[in-house]
Amino acid sequence: MLRQATQQLGDRFHDPLPATSMRVSQLLLVTLRDDPAEAEIPSHRLLLRGGYIRRIAAGVYAYLPLLWRVLVKINGIVREEMDRTGALETLLPQLQPAELWQRSGRWQGYTAGEGIMFHMVDRQDRSLGLGPTHEEVVTALAADLLRSYRQLPVCLYQIQTKFRDEIRPRFGLMRGREFIMKDAYSFHADAACLTQTYQAMDLAYRRIFLRCGLRTVAVEADSGAIGGSASQEFMVTAEVGEDLILSSPDGRYAANQERALSVAAPAVPLDDGLASGELITPGQSSIAALCDGHGLAPSQILKVLLLLARFADLPAQPVLVCLRGDQQLNEVKLRNALSQRAGSGSHPLLDLQPLTPEQLEAQGLAPLPFGFLGPQLDDAVLAGAHQWRPQFLRLADPSVAGLGRFVCGANKPDLHRVVDGWELLTPLPELVDLRSAQPGDPCLHDPDQRLVASRGIEVGHIFQLGRKYSEALEARFTSEDGSEEALWMGCYGIGVSRLAQAAVEQHHDDQGICWPLAIAPFEVIIVIASNQDADQGSLGERLYGELAAAGIEVLLDDRSERAGVKFKDADLIGIPWRVVVGRGAAAGTVELVERASHSREDLPAAELLARLQPRILAQRQGLQAH
């Protein structure tokens, strides 16, 4: 009786072949014929249609069995390469006490304002957060475990689900509120050792992405909310990427636009045609209108932006920014400049927004002539503000300091002025790099090189953190000379679930996904064209057993569907190699098709393994390092 029951179960749960093989009939494969309305970009559509993911809530997805196999493979590659660097795998808590984050000074910044940390209060009234990253936890651990320079360096890593309450989750796994990330943290006795590990991670990352079959580019990056000095991002190049990459054609420079530096194109000199002093500009409140009205070039105009910065535990700070008229404000650079000036540890920047007439009114201040503002705008306009600091923080991009004569607002409606030189302005703003580098700008390293734009999906980011967290959380060790010092730290992330989708974005066609073999859920799919045909059935089964026994990850489409359905599904889910057992089965021949190239050949079934195995072994290596 028991034996009979086990036999019945046998078909379904006790396939005698290795676990690397699988029958489609038992895979719970649910593909969609129509494009789901929610998906915009190809990779998102294909993952939904191919039965890889299902949405559970905004930015929250179930990873179905096929995708899980992909993720496990990516994790495997990540693990091998991290282990190769000597890093140690761990698993850290997702539920983290507020206290740790308060000690690092990030609790407010991550929970208030545009904060991205999910947080809650437990029944004992303790505040907790769901980990968006693990610097605090790992540094606290390091403080506990690391005492002597003899234990250093050490690197811990984990592959873990992270939580971020994104302003706008989008594109499926690309920007989710829950996602899988590999994060690593290294600890060192000195900066030189940190640099060494940082470089080792750079190499490990390049290997990881090559092995995953991804074309990536490494770019200089802003270190953002994580903090620290040097930082580099790894971008999967793709049209739909959310990041703008600026790079030089000679390959010597590449940076995220948030961070990119360039030489501003020279300004057009302002000739003497315009008299110095007041310039009547009725209704000309924009750069474009001003240029049209007076035959000016945007680079001859100095524009003024007013913003309001809110810091924790400080009055709101009005900010006056001067930029050349043809340049764009880089908000990331501005935020960094503001954070530095406020002492980001104790007073993190919570919010930065353009100053509005409504806000002025709410402060009990007189309206300002927006569109006609100039750098000389007096602090007196802020006098009597209810909650603001009554002085502007005045910043200017260096490109304005190079201007000779220029036009700027006169701080009166419908009026600008022509100024003979930057040094005539009072009070003189502080010069800080605030402009966005643009495609076409000359490069710093070689002005003959012009920046070129491309788009990328950030799949990895490495940072030299320095001692920011170890100092805040008092993670110290005893150095060789007996003194107590804060640990030097680095941190290194890879978005595993994002990487899986980025791979689809880079490898697909009209019919579906074309997985790089190294991360494909299966390496080969055997399609039995007609289940009714005994020859096909038995040959398909035989090849299935043969490939599986040879250690190849093989999927057998044994469903009683029509051949067309199976072909469509095979293309959609994107298994790299397809073996069709069809009309030639009786004569012992099969068809071998490569998914990505569509190349096909007929061959005797007896030769299949010998033909396929070398290619699969080669493709498991991923892209070759160049």
Partner RNA sequence: CGGGGCGUGGCGCAGCUUGGUAGCGCGGGUGCUUUGGGAGCACUAGGUCGCAGGUUCGAAUCCUGUCGCCCCGACCA
| Residues of this chain that bind RNA (CB under 7 A) | 31-38, 40, 49, 55, 57-59, 167-171, 285-287, 303, 305-306, 323, 327-331, 352-357, 370-371, 436, 511, 529-530, 532, 562-565, 567-569, 571-572, 580-584, 591, 593
Nearer to RNA by Cβ, of 274 and 329: the residue is 329
Q: In angstroms, rounded to a whole number, what is the distance separating the alpha carbons of residues 334 and 394?
A: 12
Q: How far is the CB of 36 from RNA (least distance, A)?
A: 4
Integer CA distances (angstroms), 610 to 377, 545, 557, 604, 622, in order: 79, 15, 22, 11, 20
> Quick one: which H or E segment has residue 186?
strand 178-188
Q: How far is the CB of 168 from RNA (least distance, A)?
A: 5
Nearer to RNA by Cβ, of 167 and 275: the residue is 167
CB burial of residue 181 (10 Å; 0-12, 13-18, 19+): buried
Q: CA Rg, the chain, in Å? A: 30
Q: How far is the CB of 35 from RNA (least distance, A)?
A: 7
End-to-end CA distance of the chain: 61
**Which residue in 529, 522, 517 sits closest to 589, CA to CA?**
529
Nearer to RNA by Cβ, of 100 and 514: the residue is 514
- Relative to beta strand 524-528, strand 577-581 is parallel
**Which residue in 38, 219, 224 sits closest to 116, CA to CA?**
224
The residue written with tokens 């009979």 in the block is: 4
Q: How far is the CB of 622 from RNA (least distance, A)?
A: 26
Q: In angstroms, rounded to a whole number, what is the distance separating the alpha carbons of residues 436 and 258?
A: 7
Residue 192, token pair as written in the block: 């030189």
Q: How far is the CB of 60 from RNA (least distance, A)?
A: 8
Nearer to RNA by Cβ, of 89 and 351: the residue is 351
Query: Strand 600-604's sheet: what is its strand order?
Result: 22-23, 554-557, 524-528, 577-581, 589-594, 600-604
Nearer to RNA by Cβ, of 233 and 569: the residue is 569
Nearer to RNA by Cβ, of 81 and 505: the residue is 505
Residue 500, token pair as written in the block: 């899986």
Q: How far is the CB of 160 from RNA (least distance, A)?
A: 23
Nearer to RNA by Cβ, of 328 and 621: the residue is 328
Q: In angstroms, rounded to a whole number, what is the distance separating the alpha carbons of residues 236 and 280?
A: 51
Nearer to RNA by Cβ, of 1 and 167: the residue is 167
Q: How far is the CB of 55 from RNA (least distance, A)?
A: 7
Q: In angstroms, rounded to a whole number, what is the distance separating the alpha carbons of residues 272 and 249?
A: 39
SS (H, E, C) 317-352: EEEEEEEECCCCECHHHHHHHHHHHHCCCCCCEEEE
Q: Are 421 and 404 in contact (CB under 8 A)?
A: yes
C-alpha 153, offset from chain centre? 28
Q: How far is the CB of 523 from RNA (least distance, A)?
A: 18
Q: What is the DSSP letter of 478?
A: E
| Cα angle for residues 263, 268, 269 (degrees, 5° grid) | 120
Nearer to RNA by Cβ, of 300 and 530: the residue is 530
> Quick one: which H or E segment has residue 398?
helix 398-401
Residue 8, token pair as written in the block: 């019945």
The residue written with tokens 């050490």 in the block is: 154
Q: How far is the CB of 565 from RNA (least distance, A)?
A: 4
**Which residue in 489, 485, 491 sits closest to 149, CA to CA?**
485
Nearer to RNA by Cβ, of 142 and 393: the residue is 393
Q: How far is the CB of 130 from RNA (least distance, A)?
A: 16
CB burial of residue 483 (10 Å; 0-12, 13-18, 19+): exposed
Residues in contact with 433: Cβ distance below 8 Å, sequence separation at least 6, in sequence order: 261, 333, 397, 398
Nearer to RNA by Cβ, of 171 and 406: the residue is 171
Q: How far is the CB of 529 from RNA (least distance, A)?
A: 4
Nearer to RNA by Cβ, of 471 and 591: the residue is 591
Nearer to RNA by Cβ, of 203 and 288: the residue is 288
Cβ neighbours of 259 (radius 10 Å): 21
| Cα angle for residues 549, 559, 32 (degrees, 5° grid) | 115
Q: In angstroms, rounded to a whole number, what is the distance separating the alpha carbons of residues 293 and 300?
A: 13
Query: Strand 95-97's sheet: what is its strand order?
Result: 95-97, 127-130, 119-121
Q: In angstroms, rounded to a whole number, what is the distance separating the alpha carbons of residues 203 and 199?
A: 6
Q: How far is the CB of 190 from RNA (least distance, A)?
A: 39
Q: How far is the CB of 222 from RNA (least distance, A)?
A: 13
Nearer to RNA by Cβ, of 150 and 598: the residue is 598
Q: How far is the CB of 19 from RNA (least distance, A)?
A: 26
Query: Coil, strand or helix: which one is 397?
Result: coil
Q: How far is the CB of 266 from RNA (least distance, A)?
A: 19
Nearer to RNA by Cβ, of 197 and 530: the residue is 530
